[in-house]
Amino acid sequence: MKPPTITPGMRKDERRHRRELCLVGAWLYERRFVVATEGNFSLRIAPHRVLASPAGANKGLLNARDLVVTDLDGRRLRGRSGPSSELPMHLEIYRQRPDVRAICHAHPPVATGFAVAGLPLDKALLAECVLDLGCIPVAPYATPGTRELGETLRPFVAKYNAILLANHGVVTFGPDLLTAFFRMETTEQIARVTLVTHLIGRQTLLTKADVECLLASRLPPRSGRANPSTRTRTGAPAREEEDPSRDRRELDLRLSAALRDLHDRR
Protein backbone atom coordinates (compact mmCIF):
# COMPACT_ATOMS: atom_id res chain seq x y z
CA MET A 1 0.00 0.00 0.00
CA LYS A 2 1.32 3.45 -0.95
CA PRO A 3 2.02 5.61 2.15
CA PRO A 4 0.21 8.97 2.27
CA THR A 5 2.11 12.12 1.34
CA ILE A 6 3.14 14.37 4.22
CA THR A 7 1.50 17.71 3.47
CA PRO A 8 2.73 21.09 4.83
CA GLY A 9 -0.37 21.13 7.10
CA MET A 10 0.64 17.82 8.59
CA ARG A 11 4.13 19.19 9.24
CA LYS A 12 2.63 21.96 11.36
CA ASP A 13 0.72 19.32 13.32
CA GLU A 14 3.92 17.31 13.62
CA ARG A 15 5.67 20.19 15.40
CA ARG A 16 2.88 20.25 17.97
CA HIS A 17 3.01 16.44 18.32
CA ARG A 18 6.77 16.63 18.92
CA ARG A 19 6.29 19.16 21.73
CA GLU A 20 3.56 17.03 23.30
CA LEU A 21 5.71 13.88 23.22
CA CYS A 22 8.57 15.74 24.92
CA LEU A 23 6.14 16.90 27.59
CA VAL A 24 4.99 13.32 28.23
CA GLY A 25 8.67 12.29 28.45
CA ALA A 26 9.17 14.93 31.15
CA TRP A 27 6.08 13.73 33.03
CA LEU A 28 7.25 10.08 32.93
CA TYR A 29 10.70 11.10 34.20
CA GLU A 30 9.41 13.47 36.91
CA ARG A 31 7.18 10.71 38.28
CA ARG A 32 10.11 8.24 38.23
CA PHE A 33 8.20 5.96 35.88
CA VAL A 34 11.49 5.88 33.92
CA VAL A 35 15.08 6.50 35.01
CA ALA A 36 18.32 6.92 33.05
CA THR A 37 17.46 6.00 29.43
CA GLU A 38 14.52 3.71 30.20
CA GLY A 39 11.16 3.73 28.46
CA ASN A 40 9.83 4.84 25.12
CA PHE A 41 6.67 6.33 23.65
CA SER A 42 5.19 7.04 20.26
CA LEU A 43 2.33 8.68 18.41
CA ARG A 44 0.72 7.63 15.13
CA ILE A 45 0.82 10.87 13.14
CA ALA A 46 -0.58 9.43 9.88
CA PRO A 47 -1.95 6.02 8.89
CA HIS A 48 1.54 4.72 8.06
CA ARG A 49 3.71 7.12 10.04
CA VAL A 50 4.84 6.93 13.68
CA LEU A 51 6.66 9.62 15.65
CA ALA A 52 8.75 7.85 18.29
CA SER A 53 11.26 8.56 21.05
CA PRO A 54 14.90 7.94 20.05
CA ALA A 55 17.12 5.12 21.29
CA GLY A 56 19.33 5.69 24.30
CA ALA A 57 18.08 9.12 25.41
CA ASN A 58 16.87 10.33 28.79
CA LYS A 59 13.14 10.86 28.27
CA GLY A 60 13.00 13.81 30.65
CA LEU A 61 15.49 15.82 28.61
CA LEU A 62 14.26 15.24 25.07
CA ASN A 63 14.28 17.98 22.49
CA ALA A 64 11.56 18.04 19.81
CA ARG A 65 14.25 17.49 17.14
CA ASP A 66 15.40 14.25 18.84
CA LEU A 67 12.22 12.39 17.90
CA VAL A 68 12.21 9.97 14.98
CA VAL A 69 9.62 9.37 12.25
CA THR A 70 9.30 5.78 11.01
CA ASP A 71 6.91 3.80 8.86
CA LEU A 72 4.90 0.88 10.23
CA ASP A 73 7.78 -1.49 9.37
CA GLY A 74 10.11 0.52 11.63
CA ARG A 75 12.14 2.10 8.80
CA ARG A 76 13.50 5.51 9.82
CA LEU A 77 12.17 8.29 7.58
CA ARG A 78 13.35 11.33 9.56
CA GLY A 79 15.53 11.82 12.63
CA ARG A 80 19.19 11.95 13.56
CA SER A 81 19.31 8.82 15.72
CA GLY A 82 17.52 5.53 15.42
CA PRO A 83 14.18 4.85 17.09
CA SER A 84 13.96 2.93 20.34
CA SER A 85 14.92 -0.73 20.05
CA GLU A 86 11.50 -1.48 21.53
CA LEU A 87 9.68 0.12 18.60
CA PRO A 88 8.63 -3.34 17.25
CA MET A 89 6.39 -3.65 20.34
CA HIS A 90 4.69 -0.34 19.42
CA LEU A 91 4.31 -1.36 15.78
CA GLU A 92 2.65 -4.64 16.77
CA ILE A 93 0.07 -2.65 18.74
CA TYR A 94 -0.53 -0.11 15.93
CA ARG A 95 -0.96 -2.89 13.38
CA GLN A 96 -3.49 -4.74 15.52
CA ARG A 97 -5.41 -1.74 16.82
CA PRO A 98 -6.34 0.93 14.24
CA ASP A 99 -8.03 2.86 17.08
CA VAL A 100 -4.72 3.29 18.94
CA ARG A 101 -2.84 6.54 18.24
CA ALA A 102 -0.44 6.70 21.18
CA ILE A 103 1.65 4.26 23.24
CA CYS A 104 3.66 4.70 26.46
CA HIS A 105 6.15 2.15 27.72
CA ALA A 106 7.76 2.72 31.12
CA HIS A 107 9.01 0.93 34.23
CA PRO A 108 6.95 2.45 37.08
CA PRO A 109 8.37 0.71 40.14
CA VAL A 110 5.29 -0.69 41.87
CA ALA A 111 3.50 -1.94 38.74
CA THR A 112 6.84 -3.32 37.51
CA GLY A 113 7.14 -5.13 40.86
CA PHE A 114 3.86 -6.90 40.08
CA ALA A 115 5.17 -7.70 36.58
CA VAL A 116 8.32 -9.19 38.11
CA ALA A 117 6.22 -11.23 40.54
CA GLY A 118 4.07 -12.43 37.62
CA LEU A 119 0.93 -11.08 39.29
CA PRO A 120 -1.81 -9.45 37.15
CA LEU A 121 -3.71 -6.46 38.49
CA ASP A 122 -7.11 -8.03 38.18
CA LYS A 123 -9.00 -7.18 41.36
CA ALA A 124 -11.98 -4.78 41.39
CA LEU A 125 -10.54 -2.47 44.05
CA LEU A 126 -11.17 0.98 42.55
CA ALA A 127 -14.21 1.58 40.39
CA GLU A 128 -12.57 4.12 38.07
CA CYS A 129 -9.69 1.76 37.34
CA VAL A 130 -12.02 -1.14 36.65
CA LEU A 131 -14.02 0.96 34.21
CA ASP A 132 -11.05 2.38 32.34
CA LEU A 133 -8.71 -0.60 32.22
CA GLY A 134 -10.51 -3.71 33.42
CA CYS A 135 -7.96 -6.42 34.17
CA ILE A 136 -4.28 -5.70 33.57
CA PRO A 137 -2.67 -9.01 32.51
CA VAL A 138 0.98 -10.09 32.56
CA ALA A 139 2.49 -10.91 29.15
CA PRO A 140 5.25 -13.57 29.20
CA TYR A 141 8.86 -12.44 29.38
CA ALA A 142 10.74 -11.61 26.19
CA THR A 143 14.15 -10.01 25.80
CA PRO A 144 13.70 -6.21 25.68
CA GLY A 145 14.51 -4.75 22.29
CA THR A 146 13.76 -7.90 20.32
CA ARG A 147 10.91 -8.70 17.93
CA GLU A 148 9.92 -11.45 20.35
CA LEU A 149 8.65 -8.75 22.73
CA GLY A 150 5.98 -7.73 20.21
CA GLU A 151 5.11 -11.38 19.62
CA THR A 152 4.51 -12.13 23.31
CA LEU A 153 2.12 -9.16 23.47
CA ARG A 154 0.13 -10.29 20.44
CA PRO A 155 -2.58 -12.30 22.28
CA PHE A 156 -3.27 -9.41 24.69
CA VAL A 157 -3.39 -6.35 22.44
CA ALA A 158 -6.94 -6.71 21.14
CA LYS A 159 -8.52 -7.07 24.60
CA TYR A 160 -6.55 -4.71 26.85
CA ASN A 161 -5.25 -1.13 27.01
CA ALA A 162 -2.61 -1.75 29.69
CA ILE A 163 -0.32 -4.77 29.91
CA LEU A 164 2.37 -5.75 32.43
CA LEU A 165 5.50 -7.14 30.77
CA ALA A 166 6.99 -9.94 32.89
CA ASN A 167 10.37 -9.00 34.45
CA HIS A 168 10.33 -5.74 32.50
CA GLY A 169 7.67 -3.01 32.87
CA VAL A 170 4.34 -1.73 31.58
CA VAL A 171 2.89 -0.69 28.23
CA THR A 172 -0.29 1.39 27.90
CA PHE A 173 -2.07 2.76 24.84
CA GLY A 174 -5.10 4.71 23.73
CA PRO A 175 -6.72 6.97 21.14
CA ASP A 176 -4.53 9.96 22.11
CA LEU A 177 -1.33 10.72 23.97
CA LEU A 178 -2.95 11.99 27.15
CA THR A 179 -5.09 8.85 27.49
CA ALA A 180 -2.06 6.58 26.97
CA PHE A 181 -0.16 8.55 29.64
CA PHE A 182 -3.10 8.57 32.07
CA ARG A 183 -3.40 4.82 31.68
CA MET A 184 0.24 4.49 32.74
CA GLU A 185 -0.48 6.64 35.81
CA THR A 186 -3.64 4.65 36.59
CA THR A 187 -1.79 1.34 36.28
CA GLU A 188 0.85 2.50 38.77
CA GLN A 189 -1.89 3.83 41.07
CA ILE A 190 -3.83 0.55 41.13
CA ALA A 191 -0.54 -1.30 41.75
CA ARG A 192 0.18 0.96 44.74
CA VAL A 193 -3.29 0.51 46.19
CA THR A 194 -3.11 -3.26 45.65
CA LEU A 195 0.26 -3.37 47.44
CA VAL A 196 -1.07 -1.33 50.38
CA THR A 197 -4.06 -3.64 50.79
CA HIS A 198 -1.63 -6.57 50.87
CA LEU A 199 0.40 -4.82 53.60
CA ILE A 200 -2.73 -4.06 55.61
CA GLY A 201 -3.81 -7.65 55.13
CA ARG A 202 -7.28 -6.93 53.84
CA GLN A 203 -8.97 -6.31 50.50
CA THR A 204 -12.63 -5.38 50.16
CA LEU A 205 -13.54 -5.84 46.53
CA LEU A 206 -16.23 -3.86 44.73
CA THR A 207 -19.28 -5.90 43.97
CA LYS A 208 -20.63 -6.25 40.45
CA ALA A 209 -23.59 -4.11 41.55
CA ASP A 210 -21.18 -1.35 42.70
CA VAL A 211 -19.50 -1.26 39.31
CA GLU A 212 -22.79 -1.30 37.40
CA CYS A 213 -24.15 1.53 39.56
CA LEU A 214 -21.11 3.72 38.85
CA LEU A 215 -21.30 2.89 35.18
CA ALA A 216 -24.96 3.83 34.97
CA SER A 217 -24.20 7.24 36.50
CA ARG A 218 -21.61 7.91 33.78
CA LEU A 219 -23.65 6.93 30.75
CA PRO A 220 -24.55 9.90 28.53
CA PRO A 221 -28.21 10.87 29.06
CA ARG A 222 -29.07 10.42 25.39
CA SER A 223 -28.04 6.77 25.32
CA GLY A 224 -29.96 5.66 28.40
CA ARG A 225 -28.49 2.18 28.53
CA ALA A 226 -25.47 0.34 27.34
CA ASN A 227 -25.36 -2.05 24.45
CA PRO A 228 -25.01 -5.50 26.04
CA SER A 229 -23.08 -6.73 23.00
CA THR A 230 -20.19 -4.42 23.94
CA ARG A 231 -19.58 -5.70 27.46
CA THR A 232 -15.99 -5.62 28.60
CA ARG A 233 -14.05 -8.44 30.16
CA THR A 234 -15.03 -7.27 33.66
CA GLY A 235 -18.71 -7.46 32.80
CA ALA A 236 -19.02 -3.69 32.57
CA PRO A 237 -20.50 -2.36 29.32
CA ALA A 238 -18.05 -0.51 27.13
CA ARG A 239 -18.41 3.26 27.07
CA GLU A 240 -20.14 4.67 24.06
CA GLU A 241 -18.06 6.51 21.52
CA GLU A 242 -17.78 10.19 22.30
CA ASP A 243 -17.45 13.10 19.95
CA PRO A 244 -13.76 12.88 18.86
CA SER A 245 -13.53 16.61 18.06
CA ARG A 246 -14.60 17.44 21.61
CA ASP A 247 -11.94 15.05 22.97
CA ARG A 248 -9.35 16.72 20.74
CA ARG A 249 -10.27 20.21 21.97
CA GLU A 250 -10.13 19.10 25.59
CA LEU A 251 -6.78 17.41 24.99
CA ASP A 252 -5.40 20.55 23.31
CA LEU A 253 -6.53 22.75 26.21
CA ARG A 254 -5.07 20.44 28.85
CA LEU A 255 -1.77 20.02 27.04
CA SER A 256 -1.48 23.76 26.43
CA ALA A 257 -2.05 24.44 30.14
CA ALA A 258 0.51 21.79 31.07
CA LEU A 259 3.07 23.23 28.64
CA ARG A 260 2.57 26.70 30.17
CA ASP A 261 3.05 25.27 33.68
CA LEU A 262 6.22 23.48 32.63
CA HIS A 263 7.57 26.62 30.99
CA ASP A 264 6.76 28.75 34.07
CA ARG A 265 8.65 26.40 36.35
CA ARG A 266 11.83 26.50 34.25
Binding-site ranges for Zn ion (CB under 5 A) = 144, 169
Query: In the complex, which residue's CB is closest to Zn ion?
Result: 169
Nearer of residues 131 and 162 to Zn ion, judged by Cβ: 162
Count of residues in the chain = 266
**If DSSP codes are grouped into helix, strand and coil, which group holds residue 258?**
helix
* DSSP code for 76: E
Minimum distance, C-beta of residue 22 to Zn ion, in the bound complex (Å): 19
Distance CA 202, CA 51 (A): 44
The side-by-side arrangement of strands in the sheet containing 76-78 is 76-78, 68-71, 49-52, 40-46, 102-106, 169-174, 162-165, 138-139
**If DSSP codes are grouped into helix, strand and coil, which group holds residue 157?**
helix
What's the angle, vertex CA 250, arms to CA 78 and CA 15, rounded to 5?
Answer: 20
Do residues 224 and 215 lie in contact, with contact meaning Cβ atoms separated by under 8 Å? Answer: no
Minimum distance, C-beta of residue 11 to Zn ion, in the bound complex (Å): 30
Nearer of residues 108 and 169 to Zn ion, judged by Cβ: 169
Question: Which segments of 58-97 are extended strands (E)?
Answer: 68-71, 76-78
What's the angle, vertex CA 87, arms to CA 103 and CA 183, rounded to 5?
Answer: 15
Nearer of residues 79 and 144 to Zn ion, judged by Cβ: 144
Distance CA 105, CA 41 (A): 6
- The catalytic residues are 86
Minimum distance, C-beta of residue 143 to Zn ion, in the bound complex (Å): 11
Distance CA 25, CA 29 (A): 6
CB atoms within 10 A of CB 125: 17
Nearer of residues 115 and 215 to Zn ion, judged by Cβ: 115
Do residues 14 and 45 lie in contact, with contact meaning Cβ atoms separated by under 8 Å? Answer: yes
Nearer of residues 44 and 59 to Zn ion, judged by Cβ: 59
Nearer of residues 150 and 169 to Zn ion, judged by Cβ: 169
